[in-house]
Amino acid sequence: MSTVQIVRLDNQSKKDLDRFIDIAWKVFPKGGENEKWVPPLRLSVLENIDVKKNPFYKRATIELFVAVKDGKDVGRIAAITNSAHEEFHHEKIGFYGFFESIDDLEVSRALFKAVAETLKAKGYEEFRGPVNPSTNHECGLLVRGQSQHPTIMTTWNPKYYVDHHEQLGLEKDKDTVAYFLATDKKNALPPKVIAYTERLKKSQRLVFRDFDLKNFDRDVEICFEIYNSAWEKNWGFFPMTREEFQFMAKEMKMVLNPKFAFIAEKEGKPAGFMLALPDYNYIFKRITNGKLFPTGIFKLLFGKHLLKTVRIITLG
């Protein structure tokens, strides 16, 4: 029986970061259950683990591990600490994320052991996840729905991931749910609800406007001020810094359609916002190597007008 070797990577080495990212393509061969997997943009994954560029890591740490079996990379995981979460929730807890593994329980066991030992050495007795790298990013383990298309910025994993977690003694901490709604006549809002909404808008002097790309920084600042106050009582929330929020906003700018991003103003003052993104996963699915260049960028640019689905990312 082959043994599993765990290799700690240098999180400031471009070569090691690329190796960590590459593992997803080795875990998810084409066909079968993996048919619904959407290859991520490599640049996007890199931005989420780059300790030198991502401001999240001014208040957090990340250690990257790769599992090797029979001379091949067969899994990966990250051990994460988040001081902002600890301070806001007054709890000492570590995190894990970016977990990928072939269907081999011993590979998963070795990866989680590496996380547990790393976090314990830093004084943590418990860890939670997956978060990539926090609850403000992609997070969660897909328990049901493997046969459905995953929308942009949501996780997808085969069913055996769930089995491995349970067999290794990890327990569910929280359920998160996604809702799908078709915008056809069958699912249209009842006339009474529409009429009530219009009366409410008039009585509260509410005005809704599209996100203004020409004043991108101004509108991002408005959303930042609303987000931290509106979300503070949600499970897993911790306040983002202005720099973190701006970094994430700039990452989304490339796929943002201002028609699906709204700011609500009450009596002339910002009072709420909603951000929905076109589901670019339908295009990312066609960029099989996860690289924008030399050809992926053209698939992105020329395919966006075909997108018919959006995902509500956040509102407050």
The pLDDT value recorded for residue 40 is 95
The pLDDT value recorded for residue 191 is 77
CATH superfamily of 5-167: Gcn5-related N-acetyltransferase (GNAT) (3.40.630.30)
Stated as kind and residue range, the H or E segment containing 91 is: none
The pLDDT value recorded for residue 2 is 78
Kindly state the average pLDDT of the residues 282-295: 92
The pLDDT value recorded for residue 189 is 67
The pLDDT value recorded for residue 1 is 62
pTM of the model: 0.93
Distance of alpha carbon 301 from alpha carbon 218, whole angstroms: 26
The CATH fold of domain 185-315: Aminopeptidase (3.40.630)
Please choose, from the candidates 261, 267, 258, 259, the residue with its C-alpha nearest in 3D space to the C-alpha of residue 201: 267
Chain position carrying tokens 């009530």: 196
The pLDDT value recorded for residue 186 is 65
The pLDDT value recorded for residue 114 is 99
The pLDDT value recorded for residue 169 is 97
Please choose, from the candidates 197, 308, 303, the residue with its C-alpha nearest in 3D space to the C-alpha of residue 260: 308
DSSP E strands, the chain:
5-8, 60-69, 72-82, 94-101, 127-128, 131-132, 138-139, 206-210, 261-266, 269-278, 310-315
User: Is beta strand 94-101 parallel, antiparallel or unpaired with respect to 72-82?
Assistant: antiparallel
DSSP character at residue 266 = E
The pLDDT value recorded for residue 246 is 96
> What is the average pLDDT score of the chain?
92
User: What letter represents residue 161's amino acid?
Assistant: Y
User: What letter represents residue 226's amino acid?
Assistant: I
Q: Is 195 exposed, middle or buried (0-12, 13-18, 19+ CB in 10 A)?
A: exposed
Q: Is 57's pLDDT higher than 90?
A: yes
Structure confidence by residue, pLDDT tens digits, 216-271: 999 999 999 999 989 988 999 999 999 999 999 998 888 888 888 999 898 888 99
**Residue 183 pLDDT level (bands cut at 50, 70, 90):** confident
The pLDDT value recorded for residue 82 is 98
Phi and psi at 97, nearest 5°, equal -160, 180
Residue-range domain boundaries for the chain = 5-167, 185-315
Same fold across 5-167 and 185-315 = yes
